[in-house]
Chains A and B, each alone.
Chain A
Amino acid sequence: AQRVTQPEKLLSVFKGAPVELKCNYSYSGSPELFWYVQYSRQRLQLLLRHISRESIKGFTADLNKGETSFHLKKPFAQEEDSAMYYCALRFGGNMLTFGGGTRLMVKP
């Protein structure tokens, strides 16, 4: 069965510091991974997907099949990055399974 693990429930950094939100997955098929973000009082929204290999709001994530990881990184955190971040794995068409989420707090 598919599984997504985010080992950190809370990550607190100072503004300007690098940030890395960890995500590991287990899946027997070919993985498609995403990062979703939920800002305070807003709905969940897509941040980025591994297929696009894009940088959104300064965030990047590389799929490492050897380590079965898809960590989210940003070199210089901003206060507006404070939010809940969910790593998700797509399986069976359009179904998503989510990790437990990591709350990122960026302190001034």
Chain B
Amino acid sequence: GAVVSQHPSRVICKSGTSVKIECRSLDFQATTMFWYRQFPKQSLMLMATSNEGSKATYEQGVEKDKFLINHASLTLSTLTVTSAHPEDSSFYICSAPSGGIGTDTQYFGPGTRLTVL
């Protein structure tokens, strides 16, 4: 089946630094990928839609200058948390639909745990 990977699986950084998280579709192409954020014991919150070849679409309340998204190719989307602060500490998950637009099978990455000191 389709597989989505994320790298790194966990990262610890100092406050004020930037962190890049990669999301890759390993055996399929994804023109769209989604980034979620999950706080401890809470549900996934959609942050943004990453679109290959165009700008990302951000959900209300998500700062686009804070969370930079680049969909570099049909198999790679990156999320960069800029000038990270402790409140950015969270579990970040990406997903990609396999099969193209309108397909309802989303495949999720294993997540990246970000800890900002």
**Set B32, B43, B104: member contacting A99, Cβ < 8 A:** B43
Residues on B with beta carbons closer than 8 Å to the beta carbon of A49: 104
Nearest chain A CB to B62's CB is how many angstroms away? 13
Residue of B nearest to A34 (CB): B104
Q: A93-104 toward B: CB 8 Å interface, digit per residue (1/0)?
A: 111111111000
CA distance A51 to B32 in the complex (A): 22
- On whether the beta carbons of B111 and A43 are closer than 8 Å, the reply is yes
CA distance A84 to B109 in the complex (A): 16
Residue of B nearest to A51 (CB): B104
Nearest chain B CB to A98's CB is how many angstroms away? 5
Total contacting residues, chain B, CB less than 8 A: 21
User: Which of B18-26, B81-89, B95-103 contacts the other chain?
Assistant: B95-103
- On whether the beta carbons of A94 and B32 are closer than 8 Å, the reply is yes
CA distance A101 to B36 in the complex (A): 15
- On whether the beta carbons of A44 and B102 are closer than 8 Å, the reply is no
Q: What are 18 A-B contacts with C-beta separation under 8 Å?
A: A32-B104, A34-B104, A43-B108, A44-B93, A44-B95, A49-B104, A86-B43, A90-B104, A93-B101, A93-B102, A94-B34, A94-B101, A94-B102, A95-B49, A96-B95, A98-B43, A98-B45, A100-B43
A contact residues vs B (CB 8 Å cutoff): 32, 34, 43-46, 49, 51, 86, 90, 93-101
B contact residues vs A (CB 8 Å cutoff): 32, 34, 42-46, 49, 93, 95, 97, 101-106, 108-111
- 16 A-B pairs besides A34-B104, A86-B44, A93-B102 with CB distance below 8 A are A32-B104, A43-B110, A43-B111, A44-B44, A44-B93, A44-B95, A44-B108, A86-B43, A94-B32, A94-B34, A94-B101, A95-B46, A95-B49, A96-B46, A100-B42, A101-B43
